[in-house]
């Protein structure tokens, strides 16, 4: 049975897209590949390396706290994307299905999720600082700005909530 836009929830589609982005491109395998095979002085190489920003790990030589912060950041990106998709664009998704306002609402949700996830996880570092929190939030915003359009495309045409 083919899924049509009539059955697609904007929140579900955007959250699933965020989960896939984080699982695939935040994986240790992709992050290592991007670091070894791309050049950050080219636009494509920079973007391919940026895709791995919410890295998650399950074994590393780093401290447990560093691993926990990285994994928490990846989890928070997905959870906060779902939260912002649900809270922010309510009226746009209900009335303007399939329009650019829906696209920008999905994209904006991912920008906010990346920024807030980075800001919150900075609090769990060994020596958190205000400058470190601002720098991390800037990195999360950059990630959301240049990758969030994918989430925006996924939310196009979806309905909000359940019928």
pLDDT digits (tens, 9 = 90+) for 104-131: 889 999 999 999 999 999 988 778 899 9
Residue 162 lies in a domain: no
Q: How many residues does the chain have?
A: 163
Residue 160 included in any domain: no
Other C-beta atoms lying within 10 Å of the C-beta of residue 71: 17
Structural domain includes residue 19: yes
What contacts 24+ positions apart, CB below 8 Å, involve 2-9? 5/97, 5/98, 5/157, 5/158, 5/159, 6/159, 8/157, 8/158, 8/159, 9/158, 9/159, 9/160, 9/161, 9/162
Q: Which of 81, 57, 82, 79 is nearest to 69 (CA)?
A: 57
Whether 163 is in a domain gets the answer no
Closest by CA position to 15, among listed 78, 107, 76: 78
User: Does 23 fall in a domain?
Assistant: yes
How many domains are there within the chain?
A: 1
Task: Determine, yes or no, domain membership for 147.
Answer: yes
pTM: predicted TM-score of the whole model, two decimal places: 0.84
Quick check: helix, strand or coil at residue 121? helix
Owning domain of residue 110: 10-155
One-character DSSP codes across 48-117: HHHTT-S---SS-SS-HHHHHHHHHHHHHHHHHHHHHHHHTTHHHHHHSTTSHHHHHHHHHHHHHHHHHH
> pLDDT tens digits, residue range 18-68?
999 999 999 999 999 999 999 999 999 999 999 999 988 876 677 777 778
- Predicted confidence at residue 162, as pLDDT, reads 46
Decide if pLDDT at 95 tops 80: no
Average pLDDT of the chain, as a whole number: 85
Say which residue, 155 or 160, is predicted with more confidence: 155
Q: Using CA atoms, how far apart are residues 103 and 16, in angstroms rounded to an integer?
A: 15
pLDDT at residue 89 is higher than 70: no
Tell whether 1 is covered by a domain: no
- pLDDT-based confidence at residue 161 (cuts at 50, 70, 90): low
**Does any domain span residue 3?**
no
């Amino acid at each position: 049975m083919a899924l049509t836009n009539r059955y697609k929830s904007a929140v579900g589609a955007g959250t699933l897209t965020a989960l896939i982005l984080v699982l695939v491109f935040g994986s240790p395998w992709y992050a290592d590949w991007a670091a070894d095979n791309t050049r950050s002085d080219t636009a494509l190489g920079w973007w391919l390396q940026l895709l791995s920003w919410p890295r998650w790990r399950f074994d590393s030589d780093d401290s447990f706290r560093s691993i926990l912060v990285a994994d928490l950041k990846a989890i928070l990106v997905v959870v906060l994307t779902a939260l912002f998709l649900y809270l922010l664009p309510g009226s746009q998704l209900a009335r303007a299905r399939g329009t650019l306002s829906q696209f920008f609402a999905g994209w904006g949700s991912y920008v906010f999720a990346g920024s807030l996830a980075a800001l919150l996880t900075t609090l769990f570092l060994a020596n958190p600082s205000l400058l470190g929190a601002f720098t991390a939030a800037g990195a999360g915003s950059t990630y959301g700005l240049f990758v969030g359009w994918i989430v925006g495309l996924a939310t196009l045409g979806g309905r909000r909530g359940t019928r």
